[in-house]
Amino acid sequence: MQLAIEHVSKRYRGKNWGLRDVSFTITPGVLGLLGPNGAGKSTLMRILATITKQTEGTVVWDSQDIAIHPEQLRTVLGYLPQDFGIYPHLNAIEFLEYLAAIKGLKANIARQRIDELLQVLNLSEVRKRPLGAFSGGMRQRVGIAQALLNDPKLLIIDEPTVGLDPEERVRFRNLLTDLAGERIVILSTHIVSDVEATATAIAIMDKGTLLTHATPENLLGQVEGKVWECLVPSEKLIQIRERFLVSSTARRSNGVHVRLVADSAPLQEAARVAPTLEDAYLYCIANGRNAAGAAQ
Ligand SMILES: Nc1ncnc2c1ncn2[C@@H]1O[C@H](COP(=O)(O)OP(=O)(O)OP(=O)(O)O)[C@@H](O)[C@H]1O
């Protein structure tokens, strides 16, 4: 089971490029697709979900070009788009039954599956409440339930934690770990911590291009020995930000604790610390932009 993306580009009307020559192969596990706003994540997700077609290149699912044979992929696809809409007057059961019918599931199988999913997603108690009265987190879980109706082999979730409170985010991450198994899960987000614990592979995009596709360990290896922490007086912070790639700051009574990524010690008293995926992500984006700047 694999999804091969080969030289895929997408040009929107108005000549805006959404993607430029993206190639990589996705295998079972959780792929964290990371990138800032406008990186091209949703464009790629929509192409993989056969909602839109690329301008150039091919996407191959188990030896079939999905632009020519979308039906083969659609039967095993679960998709939660970024702008998932609900019918506010339907309750969770009615809504999921409606979507199961659209997906062509038999009524008795659908009924059983919906019961299971409502339980797994902790929605059983509110199953008869109109969706209009649901919180953001509850709606998100209904969205995930609909994506799982057909027990998909390919599950695509676009920006899943937008609008969730911290507790709901944690619950969502745990759910994702349970869902992984023998399927491909693609999770697109600009929040690194959403995928930190769950991803088995990470793809980083910026401005329509793929910067890297690697294991989390491999990405961390790229910044090993390059992450530093130091204490600087607050008036020096602007200067530090101009010179270095600052990953985070924390204001304390004795100054500002700065965490940054640099090839060598930024200040004499800086201490080398273990990298996180957030450091690796920032480093990758900054390097990509530097390389693009140098090429222009
Ligand atoms: N329908 C469209 N028409 C024209 N340009 C578009 C369209 N959709 C996306 N784009 C452009 O394509 C580029 C990639 O957008 P895309 O939405 O795929 O990025 P993203 O990484 O998902 O960002 P976000 O997190 O903000 O949704 C952006 O420059 C965007 O303006």
Backbone angles phi, psi at 121, to 5 degrees: -95, 10
What would the pLDDT profile of 226-285 be if each residue is shown by its tens digit?
999 999 999 999 999 999 999 999 999 989 999 999 999 998 889 999 999 999 999 999
Ligand 1: residue of 11, 15, 43 to mutate (most ligand atoms within 8 A of CB) is 43
Could you give the CA distance from residue 153 to residue 165 in angstroms, rounded to a whole number?
A: 28
How many CB atoms within 10 Å of residue 253? 4
Query: What atom of ligand 1 comes closest to residue 46's alpha carbon?
Result: 18
**ipTM for this prediction:** 0.96
- Catalogue all structural domains in the chain, each as residue range(s) with its CATH number: 3-214 (3.40.50.300), 221-295 (no CATH)
What residue owns the CA closest to ligand 1's atom 17?
42
Ligand 1 pocket residue status of 190, Cβ below 6 Å: yes
* 53-83 pLDDT tens trace: 999 999 999 899 999 999 999 999 999 998 7
Model's pTM, two decimal places?
A: 0.90
Which residues are within 8 A (CB) of 176 and not within 5 positions of it... i.e. 6 or more apart?
Answer: 30, 185, 187, 198
